[in-house]
Amino acid sequence: MNVEMISRIVEQHTEEAAFLWLLRSHAVHAPHYRLKDIAKLDNRVEAHLDGLRIAGHEGWKLCEQALEIGESGEVFAVGLLALESKDRQKFDKLMAVAENSEAAVRGLISAFGWVEPSRLTGIVKYLLASNSSFHRHIGIAACAVHRANPGAILEEIVRDVETPLPLRTRALRAAGELKRRDLLYQVRDCFQAEEEQVRFWAAWSAVLLGDRGGALEILREFVLGNPAFSLRALPMLLRAMPVASSNAWLKELARYIERKRDLIAGVGMVGDPHYVPWLIKQMETPELARVAGESFSLITGSDIAYEDLDGNRPEGFESGPTENPQDENVAMDQDEDLTWPDPKKVQVWWDARKGRFQLGTRYLLGVPITEAQCQKVLREGFQRQRTAAALELALMRPDAPLFEVRAPGWRQQRLLQNTG
């Protein structure tokens, strides 16, 4: 095999590793992937990474060329090789590229998350001790994705109002993910910060650390006044409140007609079967049908596609970008991977089973929310359902870190097997 052919094979490994990483970065948030699917996808990524490892110096040279693109997938592949090599020169070059690109940062942090924690001790210690706020940011993020406690430096960063915003907000988020309950008072001190990112992540983490008062009030304000934070604020808010309080707050949200999609999603988060008939009614509106079906499944445990409760895409319905060059709407269809429910079939299914459900009780996939049910969903559910189960578990367990549903599939499977 000649040098040119070897170079081409290595180049293909680089391209495929980057492409598959982008695919899995979507999959970990998708409604149709289970943990076993993530693990299979990760094995495909790992196969191409192995090709780069075997290629040695030639593999690194081609990855180094790809690094100039600065895209997240390429940075992930390069970052992994740099971390595993323990070559400081390679790592410093990688950091220099990542410091100027948000996309590159995502790939870099993912590379840290891919590597086993035991192989990161030295480099993370180096980053946390650095005078560079960017280095410390990556160090804190690396600890957080592995749910490893970085120690006293986390408190120092949270307390220091002069800390650059990206680093301080990442530290605040990590305080909640890691369940650093010793930092609750310091986190609460950030409730009055001028920067909205600081206030949000302080409130988000404070709820995980046990605050059910002021932190929830701040999250309410973000949901109603700043839709950009709703995707993260709404689940924490509704899952942390008692069901009666959540139901009352949903009535408040219902006053905002433009937030009906959030209302439908929120109903699924609350999990009260009282809302099921209303959800079935929403399935008659094409723009809301699929998200209503997802909330219905989140409460009842039905699998709309598997149980033949699905229907056809409504004739003439368009969503997402079109081929019309004059169409200024370029937003992707946020429900693209969800099944179209058939309201009549769903109603028949519900009529046959509604006697099993008790109004005013919170359900997750057809079972009242308990630690055992959340563990089962983490093992068997789809990714969005698993995200919900992880948050519920973290809210129930005062000292247990938030389970990371984006971690490599084999690591998640190992952790879940050990916790039974």
| HSE-CB for 365 with a 13 A CA cutoff | 21
At residue 400, does pLDDT exceed 90? Answer: yes
* CA–CA distances in Å: residue 55 to residues 7, 18, 74, 119, 177: 9, 16, 16, 21, 37
* Cβ neighbours of 279 (radius 10 Å): 27
Cβ within 8 Å of residue 312, ≥6 positions away: 340
Residue 320: which pLDDT band, with cuts at 50, 70 and 90? low
> Is 407:35 a contact under the CB 8 Å cutoff?
no
CA distance 305 to 308: 5
**Coil, strand, or helix at residue 341?**
strand
pLDDT at 329 over 50: no
- Give the least confident one: 93-102, 131-140, 187-196, 265-274: 93-102
DSSP 181-193: GGGHHHHHGGGG-
Task: Let me know: does 124 contact 143? Beta carbons within 8 Å.
Answer: yes
Q: What is the mean pLDDT of residues 210-224?
A: 95
What phi and psi, each to the nearest 5 degrees, are found at residue 164? -55, 145
Average pLDDT over residues 105-118: 94
CA 307 – CA 305 distance, rounded (Å): 6
Q: What's the rounded mean pLDDT across residues 149-178?
A: 96
Q: Which residues is 368 bridged to in the sheet?
A: 363
Closest CA to 354 of 308, 302, 311, 306: 302
Q: Per-residue pLDDT tens for 356-388?
A: 999 999 999 999 999 999 999 999 999 999 999
Checking 252-255 for CB contacts under 8 A at 24+ apart, the result is: 252/224, 253/223, 253/224
pLDDT digits (tens, 9 = 90+) for 240-254: 999 999 999 999 999
Q: Taking residues 330-355, what's their average pLDDT?
A: 91
pTM of the predicted model over 0.85? yes
The highest-confidence range among 73-82, 163-172, 330-339, by mean pLDDT, is: 163-172
Report whether pLDDT(156) > 80.
yes
Domain borders along the chain are: 1-115, 148-240
pLDDT at 322 over 50: no
What is the chain's length? 420
Kindly tell me if the per-residue pLDDT of 226 is higher than 60.
yes
Looking at residue 398, the DSSP 8-state letter turns out to be S
pLDDT at 330: 47
* Amino acid (one-letter) located at 9: I
Answer yes or no: is pLDDT of 332 > 80.
no
Whole-number mean pLDDT of the chain?
Answer: 91
Q: Of the candidates 365, 388, 374, 379, which has an alpha carbon nearest to the alpha carbon of residue 418?
A: 379
Write the pLDDT tens digit of every residue in 38-95: 999 999 999 999 988 888 777 777 777 767 777 889 899 888 988 988 888 888 888 9
Can you give the pLDDT at residue 102? 87
